[in-house]
């Protein structure tokens, strides 16, 4: 059974290395890898969040190449994944888009590489996904989501840990592992 | 405890869309993502396998930027990951390099998105990693490893499955999920 799950990759507001709020640039392989992982694990939609006009245009150009351009003929599997992508200006716009589907607003779950006492575990969220609520799993680019986004979220998911003290996975890797932990059989 | 595990990303011999054997180009973010995942899960070394002179030079240039160039000062965490990378001409050269460490040749485990009746499961390999043998986990680029590599390997690992029939994860995602399934606590 498909989970009632949406994924968002946020490019604004995120923080840079110095902790300042910035709008990050869209990375081509984030779109491909996270769309392919989303498709693999039955995610309903994958939202790319940026308010920047040029970044929205670039993202749309990449999507179009693979969903209706030559890429879609050369590689139909890739089309199937990139068709899940929706570009929106803000997380509020994402929430509106999901609510239009008729199931109301989803519960929001932020991800982070940082520990927090309020984190829910993978086991807890996996269990929650079996219920009737829909969930929006939010990933940050740059050095992570702005504090405001984290504080406003309904839940914060525990970080992915390996078996070392190193916690610097790419957002592409983190998203893949998180979806696997939450959804795989 | 760190597993006695090595990872190799093979650019030759791999197959293209038509099933012909090719040497694929090195992808920058494969190096970063797989090095970061390797470091997260305590992998001993991450081998990038290509016999092409220009590709070896390009790969070394990327590694050097992050391990001894300006990237290493800007981002020491990235240095720690990319220091795991070793460039070798062939899988045979990888085997020799590992055996020089004194523990003999590792057992080889190929990964693939395709099902095979001879596959071992994640649970089986996880258990095997607790033993004294060292293992080399082999990933292919392009449309996957050449048949010869698959047939010569000691083991073939079952494919990563989500909860759909879609099995087209990027090698970066597959490597991250596989290491997580094999090694996370």
**Could you report the per-residue pLDDT of A35-69, keeping only the tens digit for each?**
999 999 999 999 999 999 999 999 999 999 999 99
Identify the residue with better confidence: A102 or B51: B51
DSSP single-letter state for residue B99: I
Q: Is A33 on the interface with B (CB under 8 A)?
A: yes
Q: Are residues A161 and B185, on separate chains, in Cβ contact within 8 Å? A: yes
Q: Are residues A169 and B78, on separate chains, in Cβ contact within 8 Å? A: no
Q: Are residues B173 and A172, on separate chains, in Cβ contact within 8 Å? A: yes
Q: How far is B54 from chain A (nearest CA, A)?
A: 23
B29, B80, B167 member nearest A40 (Cβ): B167
Under a CB-based contact definition with an 8 Å cutoff, are residues A176 and A41 in contact? no
For residue A126, give Cα distances in angstroms to A182, B95, B135, B145: 5, 40, 31, 34
| Rounded CA separation A128/A111 (Å) | 16
Peptide bond into A13 cis (omega under 30): yes
Q: How far is CA A117 from the centre of its chain?
A: 22
Largest CA distance in chain A: 48
Find the radius of gyration of the CA atoms of chain B. 16
**Unique residue bearing structure tokens 């054997």:** B21
The ipTM estimated for the assembled molecules is: 0.97
Q: Is A152 on the interface with B (CB under 8 A)?
A: no
Q: What percent of chain A has pLDDT over 90?
A: 95
**Could you report the per-residue pLDDT of A92-124, keeping only the tens digit for each?**
999 999 999 777 899 999 999 999 999 999 999
Q: Is A118 on the interface with B (CB under 8 A)?
A: no
**Unique residue bearing structure tokens 């009632």:** A4
Residue B160 binned pLDDT confidence (cut-offs 50, 70, 90): very high
Residue A82 confidence (pLDDT): 97
Q: Is A23 on the interface with B (CB under 8 A)?
A: no
| Rounded CA separation B43/B106 (Å) | 13
pTM comes to 0.97
CATH class of A5-183: alpha beta
């Amino acid at each position: 059974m498909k989970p009632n799950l949406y994924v968002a990759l946020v490019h604004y507001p995120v923080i840079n290395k110095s902790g300042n709020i910035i709008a990050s640039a869209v990375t081509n392989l984030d779109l491909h890898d996270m769309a392919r992982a989303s498709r693999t694990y039955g995610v309903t939609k994958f939202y790319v969040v940026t308010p920047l006009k040029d970044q929205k245009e670039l993202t749309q150009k990449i999507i179009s190449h693979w969903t209706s351009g030559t890429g879609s003929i050369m590689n139909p599997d890739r089309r199937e994944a990139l068709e899940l992508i929706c570009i929106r200006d803000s997380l509020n716009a994402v929430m509106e888009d999901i609510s239009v589907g008729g199931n109301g607003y989803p519960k929001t779950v932020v991800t982070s590489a940082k520990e927090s006492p309020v984190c829910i575990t993978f086991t807890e969220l996996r269990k929650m996904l079996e219920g009737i609520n829909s969930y929006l799993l939010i990933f940050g680019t740059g050095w992570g989501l702005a504090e405001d986004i984290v504080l406003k979220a309904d839940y914060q998911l525990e970080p992915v840990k390996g078996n070392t003290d190193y916690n610097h996975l790419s957002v592409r890797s983190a998203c893949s592992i998180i979806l696997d932990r939450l959804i795989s059989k």
